[in-house]
Amino acid sequence: MSSERQVKRRINTAQNIAKITKAMEMVAASKMKRAQDQAIAARPYSRALYDSIVTVAQVSGVSDHPLLSVHTIGFPVMCVIGTDKGLCGALNTNLAKTLLTWRNEHRDGQVVAVGKKAVLLARNLGMTVHAQFTDLPDHLTFKDILPVVTLILNGFKEQHFRSVEVLYTDFINTLSQRPKQAILLPLTQALQATLTKEKQVTLPPKPYVFEPGAKQILEYLLPFYLENTLFHAFLEAKASEHSARMVAMKNASDNAAELVDELRLIYNKTRQQSITSELLDIVSATMALN
Amino acid sequence: MRSFPLHIVSQDKEVLSTEVESVTIPTGEGEITVLYKHVPLFTKVTTGQLVYRTSGEEVSVVVSNGFANVAPSGAVTVLVDSGVLARDISVEKAEAAIQAAHETMKKTRDQRELLLAEASLRQAMMEVKVAQKTRKTRI
């Protein structure tokens, strides 16, 4: 019967899809483990670095470093860290929502897009893409993000950019990721909030000694801090991406299995029906003969 | 001798967190040794051998560029790009890193990549040196 065969075909399709999504889930799971480990392992360093820069900025007083200066020339920039590939649930859509709010606040804002999906996202929102970086490897090293850092640093120093913010997906755990927006430059804005908050608490009782000098240290520390913050954002984004993809693919596999069960029931029912009607035919035929 | 906490954190992990009696850190201005109740200090760390002592035992750690912070509380935090305990050094790995660094230095023209390769070269060479030294003293 034709409907029987049709159902059979749908079962096969669903099973094939389930196989593919299962494979993708496993690939994402192995990548996720590595990315999560990398992101979590980098956290103590970022925290210690942050503590150090707060100490130094507090003790030495905020100087006239180019990265600390606030200027009104140029346009605001948002660095959006998205994914290269799709099939990772609502990850990029959530980024889009935050980006839309930002666009409404900064009409002249431009985007530095990381990942193909981020590029598409910015275009769909009708925003200018200042630069785009795609096809970053799964295992990130410092070298991979250097071009992004250099672009941001130079753009800000040459006063093309008024401010730089970063938008990425913060990794909380495998099941939940949240878009996070942070100010990168000017650093005064990023540091000010914490500085005023912590100033009353810990003023060092003894004078701090700086070698070679507070100014040199700060000059070295600030760009370094920026690089590290951005690198950390990248790691978190990668971990989130793989986690989201794994969960999405797991849901897809589960749904496919459910569909197969339902279809199998329909298939068995129609098969049983056809057998019954055939039997009826035979029985009625023999009865007519007798 | 009184002891104080020492934390060594590298880019990819927390290398060490322990109580020590003294620690010698390679800095841009030469080596400094920090004892209990050192004056608060913030300094740049260069690639080299960091040595800490605890109850007569001496342990080496190969560190690369970074910072050291002696907090007013006396706790020492060393932030480095990478840090390897002397007993964890693998000479083969270090030699492979030297090779790789040489190759990138030949190929690349990018200033920053060159600097990175140079840094990893210096780090790997230091690892080999420290590994040889500690092995000698053990025999």
Residue A26 belongs to a domain? no
pLDDT at B86: 77
Structural domain contains residue A24: no
Residue A100 is assigned to a structural domain of this protein: yes
A259: in domain: no
Q: What is the pLDDT along chain A (290 residues), one digit of tens a residue?
A: 568 889 999 999 999 999 999 999 999 999 999 899 888 888 888 888 888 887 777 776 655 677 777 778 889 999 999 999 888 889 999 999 999 999 999 888 899 999 999 999 999 998 889 999 988 888 888 778 888 988 998 888 888 888 899 999 999 988 889 999 988 887 776 666 555 555 444 555 557 788 777 777 878 888 888 888 898 899 999 999 999 999 999 999 999 999 999 999 999 999 999 999 999 999 999 999 98
Please give the pLDDT value at position A64: 63
- Contact B44/A220, CB-based, under 8 Å? yes
Q: Which residue of A has its CA nearest to B31?
A: A211
pLDDT tier for residue B139 given thresholds of 50, 70 and 90: very low
CATH of domain B89-138: 1.20.5
Please tell me the total count of domains within chain A.
1
A275: in domain: no
Kindly state whether A40 is in contact with chain B, defined as any CB-CB distance less than 8 angstroms: no
Q: How many residues does chain B have?
A: 139
Do A48 and B9 make contact, defined as CB atoms within 8 angstroms?
Answer: yes
Give the integer Cα–Cα distance in Å for A16 and A131.
Answer: 39
CB contacts, 8 Å: A211 with chain B: 27-29, 41-44
**In chain B, where the domains are located:** 4-86, 89-138
DSSP per residue over A139-158, as a string?
A: S--HHHHHHHHHHHHHHHHT
Chain B residues whose beta carbon lies within 8 Å of the beta carbon of residue A209: 39-43
Q: If pLDDT is split at 50, 70 and 90, which confidence band does B135 have? A: low
Task: Give domain status of residue A115, yes or no.
Answer: yes
* pLDDT of res. B136: 59
Report pLDDT for A201.
Answer: 47
Q: Do B72 and A142 touch (CB under 8 A)?
A: no
Name the CATH code of domain B4-86 (choices 2.60.40.740, 3.30.70.600, 2.60.15.10, 1.10.8.50): 2.60.15.10
User: Do β-strands B22-27 and B30-34 pair in parallel, antiparallel, or remain unpaired?
Assistant: antiparallel
Tell me the nearest-neighbour CA distance from A206 into chain B, angstroms. 7
Does B72 contact A206 at a Cβ distance shorter than 8 Å? yes
Cα of A35 to nearest chain B Cα, Å: 12
Cα–Cα distance, A60 to A207 (Å, whole number): 10
Average pLDDT, chain B: 84
Closest-CA distance, B17 to chain A, in angstroms, reads 12
Q: What angle do CA A149, A122, A252 make, to 5 degrees?
A: 100
Whether A27 is in a domain gets the answer no
Give the integer Cα–Cα distance in Å for A227 and A230: 5
Q: Under a CB-based contact definition with an 8 Å cutoff, are residues A88 and A24 in contact?
A: no
How many CB contacts within 8 angstroms connect chain A with chain B?
Answer: 73
Q: Does A55 touch chain B (CB under 8 A)?
A: yes
Chain A residues closer than 8 Å to B71 by CB: 55
Q: What local confidence, expressed as pLDDT, does residue A45 receive?
A: 85
Interface contact A54, partner B, CB < 8 A: no
- Mutant choice from A49, A149, A228, A229 vs B, greatest count of B C-beta within 10 A: A49
Q: Which of residues 95-134 of B touch A (CB under 8 A)?
A: 112-113, 116
Nearest to B40 among A38, A44, A208 (CB): A208
Instruction: Look up the CATH number of the domain holding residue A179.
Output: 3.40.1380.10
pLDDT confidence of residue A70: 77
Distances (CA, A) of B117 to A200, A225, B102, B110, B124: 43, 21, 8, 11, 10
DSSP class of residue A175 equals S
- Residue A192 is part of which domain span? 32-246
Rounded to a whole number, what is the distance in Å from the CA of B34 to chain A's nearest CA?
A: 13
The answer to whether the Cβ–Cβ distance between A212 and B28 falls below 8 Å is: yes
Q: Which residues of chain B have a CB within 8 Å of the CB of A221?
A: 67
A146 within domain boundaries: yes
Residues 6+ apart with CB under 8 A from B102: B121
Task: Give tens-digit pLDDT for B20-72.
Answer: 999 999 988 889 999 988 888 888 898 888 999 988 788 888 888 888 988 88
